[in-house]
Each structure stands twice: as structure tokens, then as C-alpha cells.
Amino acid sequence: MCGDDESTNPEYERLKDLKDRVTNNRDSIEEALKDAKNRMDEGDTWTGSAAATPWAEEVAGRHRRIPGLVDGMIDAIEARMSEVGESGDSTE
Amino acid sequence: MGPTEDDGGASNYSSIYVESFEEMISTLERRSEDSHDEVSGIKSGMEADGVDTSDAKELLTIFDWVEDELPMLRRRLSLAKVAHGGQPDELSASVFEPVTLPTEDELSEARDLADRINNHGYTDAELAEIIHDVAGELDTSDPDIMSEFFGRLGVQQAEQLISLMYETGSETMQEDIQAFSRGLGAATMDTDPSAEFTEFVEEFTTAPTHDGNLVTPVAWGRLALMQSGNFDQEFVENAVTANGLDQFGENNNFDYRGGGNVAGNAGLPDDVIALAFGALGNHPEASRNVINGMPGDMSDVVDSVFGYCGSVGNDDVADAFGRAINSGAGVNDEYWRDHSDEAAQFAFSFMLAAGEHPEVPWGIKQHMGELAASYRQEILTGASMDDAKFRDSSMSAPDNFDGLYNVDPAFYLSPEDTYRFLHGFADTDELMAPFDEAMGEMFELLPSQAAGGDQRAQEDGEPDPRQFEKMMTAFGNLAGLQNTAMLDVRGDMDERDKAIREGIAQVLTFGLGKVPTPQTIAPKLGWKAFTYVVGKGLSSYTEGGETRVDQVEAEDHQMALTMHYMVAEALLDADYPHTELPDEITDENGNLLPVEDIAKSEEAMRAFAEWTDANNTGDGTPFDDKVDHGAGVFLGGQDNAEHTVESWGLGEEWTPSK
């Protein structure tokens, strides 16, 4: 433990909750496009060079970007947490 | 374009596997929406606390992209559903690219077409022409356009459409009905329909009733528009249930005829129940769901339908019910060696239920024959009395039942239930033709495969598993049961006997290749001849030349020769060890002469008999023993079957009189 309730920075706590929310939902967010990406890779859902192939690339590209963006959100929250500080004393 | 097996390598079209594509879209939509909501909530929190949200915003653009893609994905799905046309799931549908959403002009044209009918205002010859013109202009390959058309037309006009054609003296009624039916089917494939069409579907799938009873002319008008084309499964299920089968399930003591004079001109049954089952005839899953969902079990449904058929006195309902049953049983879209579990369970239930009736409506008999042909492995296995003779019918293998070589049945009928089902369509050779042909194909294939299996086992030093003998016994059992059923249903078999004799004689005289009959004669005639030989207990042929009392006897001898020949040929095909073929029965290459050549010569017939008898060499079971057993099932096969059937005590309705 790092101190009593009085010394806890509420903004820090909110940010921590926000970070937890991102972490807890990370799997489902990262899987949003996974099924479509997998089905397109497996080749028994939609094929054809005119539309299916470009769409498969589009969906795969976006699917690959999601983990990095989720990391970016967590990094941004952690950066802000560092700024605001954990205890009430260090706020502002 | 229709279904295809390739991968859509050409650049101008997509190959879409409808089921997987639909699942992909729904999963993508659900997960992307959930993630969008979640990330949006997090982003708001981040903004409130001064966190940099650039990555969250970029993430949201991904889910926005998905949302933007969904209309085109759904559009492709709708087009693919229409192109797929109810074909097996493993086939893909071809959709031309680039796919575009219908333009406002195109949708407006669809509405204008509907307005031409809606706004004419008179029931005159001109309206007949208008309806015909509109039918010709429907783009039945485009679900969005079709749903726009029917949404505008409205349910009341749609359900009156065929009556209007009749009243206005349309001369193109039948072709127009088919066009509207295909169009309506396409409309139901629209995965993103307008509010008008959503309302249309809701009304169309709501029972038209008055004082709690079905208004049959209205139900008829709706269901008559569902006899061609392919429909969305849920729509079919809801429509046939609401417009007939729901009430029929509760009460089959009601007159469901609703077409009147219109039906005759439309070339459709006038019975609503016939149309309801008819709409299920090319929708396998819908057929299973609806029929399985009717009150009681399959036995109750069959009782109800057969009872109703008797009371209305026509075959339309039985015919349509048979088509619905065969659709659900996978007769039309599944390979006989590879029926799905659901279809097999459905077929099993129906076979048992139909087998409770010594008399079945005539209209369903041909479908029973086709069902038996599709479940040929199950019928052959069911007839087998080699072991577990007193088994009950079941979906899983009975205890102490070894099964037959390279036969993989989806269910196991008892010999009695097999007989009861065969009894239902044993009336004529025409009704039995699909089954005879299917059995003939298996008879050409399986004994030889079983003999090969026996030979390989013996080569490996194992005892002869005698799969060949088991196989021949099963075929003999089946032939005996089939023949007994035919005897009971037909009374006498003189006409059939004559036809088979003539058929075989023709083959023996001219040779198979020279007989001007369809290619399928060999399996069909082969199996018919086999059941004939079993029925007659024919065993000898060598005396034929010496003691020909009359032509019939001579032909019987030739028939017996043919059967022995088929058995020996099966063993030769399997390379079963045998002594050298004598010159009298071989061609210049040392191969066994065709049976027609042997039949022409007394010397060759005798040489053939002596050769099979002399084949006692080898370490394993001799060739001669195999032939003798194979031929042995001809002997007494009929007596055995008749005694067995008699022992079941089924009564006069099921058993040939002595």
C-alpha cells in the first residue's frame, strides 16, 4: 500500500480505472476484425481478385494496426498518470 | 451466375460461400459495433482527463471503416444468396464485380413497375398485359430491386395477383407466376430491406384467418407465389407455417382447398397444404425445421398427412409432402455415401413412420422410391439378416452387428422396418426404378470390393473374413424382401417376370452395347434380374440346352447363368485367385467372354460351369466356394424371405397370400 485515502489523487484513480478498462477490453477490441481476417485468409468465404483480394488486404492491414493503437492508448493514459502523480500531493 | 466450385480466379467476379460469408458479416458487425462503443466510451474518459486521444481516434476510424463496408458486404451477400439458389453449402456463388448498390433511379423504376399494377384501376385485358409486361421486366437476380418492387406492390396486391391474372384472362399465367415467384424469392434474400418490404414480410408471414380459421384463398394466393425460385430459409419457414401448416398441424379435418378454378389455369394444386409442402421441396433445412416442428412426432405428422390425403381424394398433397420429405432427407443435394446427420435422422424417422402404413397415398410412392435409392446403403444394411437379425431400428449400430464391407450406413433399420418401407412403393417397376438402379450400381461394385478385402486379408495370413459371403447374403436378403413386398402388393408378377426375361434375353442376344436402351440398363436390369432369380430360386443353367421344355424355361436358365456369371465376374474383378480360364470362355486376350457370348453356346455354358466348379486351388477359401455361396443366395432366397416376413405376424395387409 502506498498511503491512505486522503493522499490518493482522484484523477490518477480515474486514469487507472481507464487504463484497466482498456486492458480488460483489449482482447475483444483486438479480435473485432480477427474472424473476418481469418476467414479471408482461409479462402473459403470470399475469393476473387477484383474485390475479395483487396478487401482481404484492407481488413488484414487494419487488424494488424489495432494492437499498436491499443498500446498507444495505454501509453497515453500512463503518460498522463505520470503527469498527475499517484498521490494528492503531487497533483498539479 | 450460378454456383461454382472454383475460387473465382477471374478478375471480374467474386466467389462467395454464402454461409461463411454471412457468419463473417454478422460477427464483424457485432464485434466492431461493440468495440466502437467501448472505445468511444474510453475516449470520452480520456478526453475528460486530458489524455492524448489520437490513437483512440484512429482506432475508431477502423470501426467506422467497417461500418462503411457493411452495406456493400450485405449487398454481395444478398446477390450471392440469389445466385447460390439453394445449392449445397460447399458450392460457392458467383457475383459479378464491381458490385454496386442500386441507384435511386433503379429503385424508382422498381416502384414504378409495382405502381403500373397497383394504379391501373380496372380488371380488364389490359391489366393482364400489364402484369405480363411487369413479369418480364423483373430483375429476379437483384434482391434489392425485388424487395423494392414487392414492398411497393404490397401484400394484398401480391396475394391477389394470380386471381387477377385469371380474372383478366391472362394467357401467360404460368410463366408470369414463375417470374413473380422467382422475384419474391430474390426479394426475401435482401439482407438490408426497406421498411416497406419488412412490413410486407411481416404481413405475408402472418396467418390470414377469419373466426379462427385459415382463409384458404388468401393463403393459396400467397403460397402459389412460392412454388418457383429460392427463398430465404426463415421466410419459407414462417410463410408455410402461417399460411397452412400451423393450422393443419392442429386440425387436419378441414378443407384446405383454396385455389378453385384459378389453380387449374395456374397449373398448381388447389390445396393450400400441397402448396405449403411444395414450397419446402427445394429448401432442405426449412423442410426439416417445419416438419419436425409440427405437433407430435414424425409418425403423427405422417398419420395426419396420409389421413388428409385420403379425405380430399387427390394426390397433390402426398406428392408435395414426398418432395418436402426428400428435400429434408438430402435426396436432392447430398451424396448417398455422405448424408448429413440431420438429413439422415429425418429420413430415418420418415421411413419408420411411413412403414406403419400398409397403404400409402399413391402420390408419395415415387418419392419413397427415390428416398430408398438415396439411402441405398441403409436399405441394404437393413435387409441384412446375417447377424443381429432381431435388432430394433436405431441411429447407431446394434450390438453384435458387424456391418458390410465398405458400406457405411447413417442408420440401421431392422429387416422388418426395411420390408415395411419397401412395401410402400413396390407397386410397379416404374416406381421401383430409381431404387432398382441404385441397388444395381451397388451390386456391381460392393461384392467385388468385399472379395478384394477377403483376398487381401488371406494374403496377410488372416482367416478369410468372408465379407464377400456376407455381402452376397445381404443382397440375397434384400432381393427376397423386395420380391416378397412386390408379391404382396401386386398379387401376381407375371407381367414383370415377362418383362425381365425379355430384357435379359435381349441383352443376351444382342449384347449390352447393342441394346438400344439407356446406359443405365445394366445396373437396373441387373438388380431386377437378381431379385427375379432370388424370387424363382433359380440355380441351374447347364441343363438348359438339353432339356429346354419351352422358351420360358430356357430364358430362366439363361438368367441363372447371368447371375452366376455376375458373381464370378465380381471375383475376377477383385483378382481373386482362380484357375486358368478355359479357351471356350475366353477371348483372344485371355479375358472372360461377355455373358451374351457364353449364353449363345452350349459348350461355353458347360465350360463356364466346369471352370467355376473346378476352382479349388489356393491356400485360402477357394474361388469355387465363393461362387457357390454367392450363387447359393439365389437358392431358397424367396422361401427364406417369405418365411421371415410371415414370422413377423404382420397380418394380411402386409403378407402375400398363400
Q: How far apart are CA B536 and CA B262, in angstroms?
A: 52
The stretch B81-85 carries a mean pLDDT of: 89
pLDDT at A85: 93
Q: Is the per-residue pLDDT at B544 higher than 50?
A: no
> What are B254-270's pLDDT values in tens digits?
999 999 999 999 999 99
Q: Is A57 on the interface with B (CB under 8 A)?
A: no
Q: How far apart are CA B271 and CA B618, in angstroms?
A: 67
Q: Is the per-residue pLDDT at B176 higher than 90?
A: yes
User: Is B12 within 8 Å of A50 when comparing Cβ atoms?
Assistant: yes
C-alpha distance from residue B624 to each of B119, B465, B615 (Å): 83, 16, 5
pLDDT at B103: 95
User: Is A48 within 8 Å of B13 when comparing Cβ atoms?
Assistant: yes
> Largest Cα–Cα distance in chain A?
63
Which residue of chain B comes nearest to A23, CA vs CA? B42
Q: Picking from B45-49, B181-185, B219-223, B455-459, which range would have the lowest pLDDT averaged per residue?
A: B455-459
Judge contact between B346 and B292, C-beta under 8 A.
Answer: yes
Judge contact between B519 and B449, C-beta under 8 A.
Answer: no
User: Is A49 within 8 Å of B92 when comparing Cβ atoms?
Assistant: no
Q: How far apart are CA B113 and CA B142, in angstroms?
A: 15
Q: Is the per-residue pLDDT at A92 higher than 50?
A: no
Q: Calculate the average pLDDT of chain B.
A: 88
Residues in A closer than 8 angstroms to B27, CB to CB, are 35-36
Number of H helices, E strands in chain B: 29, 5
DSSP category for residue B512:
G
pLDDT at B42: 96
> What are B370-421's pLDDT values in tens digits?
999 999 999 999 999 877 778 899 999 998 888 999 999 999 999 999 999 9
Question: Which residue is associated with the grid cell 390445396?
Answer: B271
ipTM of the complex: 0.93
Q: Is B51 on the interface with A (CB under 8 A)?
A: yes
Interfacial A residues in 17-36 facing B (CB < 8 Å): 18, 21-22, 25, 28-29, 31-33, 35-36
Interfacial A residues in 61-90 facing B (CB < 8 Å): 62, 65-66, 69-70, 72-73, 76-77, 79-80, 84
Q: Is the per-residue pLDDT at B196 higher than 70?
A: yes
Q: How far apart are CA A34 and CA B100, in angstroms?
A: 26
Residue A87 C-alpha, separation from nearest chain B C-alpha, in angstroms:
16
C-alpha distance from residue B251 to each of B98, B361, B654 (Å): 51, 19, 29
Pick the residue with more confidence: B646 or B268?
A: B268
> What are B34-77's pLDDT values in tens digits?
999 999 999 999 999 999 999 999 999 999 999 999 999 999 99
pLDDT at B515: 39
User: Is B35 within 8 Å of A47 when comparing Cβ atoms?
Assistant: no
User: Is A77 within 8 Å of B16 when comparing Cβ atoms?
Assistant: no
Judge contact between B63 and B35, C-beta under 8 A.
Answer: yes
User: Is A36 within 8 Å of B51 when comparing Cβ atoms?
Assistant: no
Number of H helices, E strands in chain A: 3, 1
pLDDT at B570: 85
Q: How far apart are CA B571 and CA B446, in angstroms?
A: 11
- DSSP labels, B254-289: S--B--HHHHHHHTS-SBHHHHHHHHHTT-HHHHHH
The stretch B523-548 carries a mean pLDDT of: 57
